[in-house]
Amino acid sequence: MRKESDDVGRVRTLYGAWNAGKRNGSFEKCGNSGGENGNGFTFKTYNAHDMLGAIRRAEGLFGNKALWNEAMTDAMESDFSWKKSANDYVNVYRMILND
């Protein structure tokens, strides 16, 4: 399993890697569990059963080469930069101030 301090975004952008890991603050942002807008495989608790479920979902995607290639391309095009994160925070503050 990955450590919470890993630079998930950099690895994904360079290699098109999808991640599997326990849901937490930083990984939840980068590891939505599969699906149309997904970009990783997450599980809720540290136990073998939940982790195996994430691995099985990854195997299912990997078995479909067209979808797997699309997923890798999406991962490489993701923006995990601080510039984007800072802009997201500015937008939240602006939204709060306008309410």
1-24 pLDDT tens trace: 444 444 555 555 566 666 666 666
DSSP for residue 24: -
pLDDT for 2 equals 45
The list of the chain residues with pLDDT below 50 reads 1-6, 31, 35-36
Residue 75, both tokens? 């991962």
pLDDT for 12 equals 58
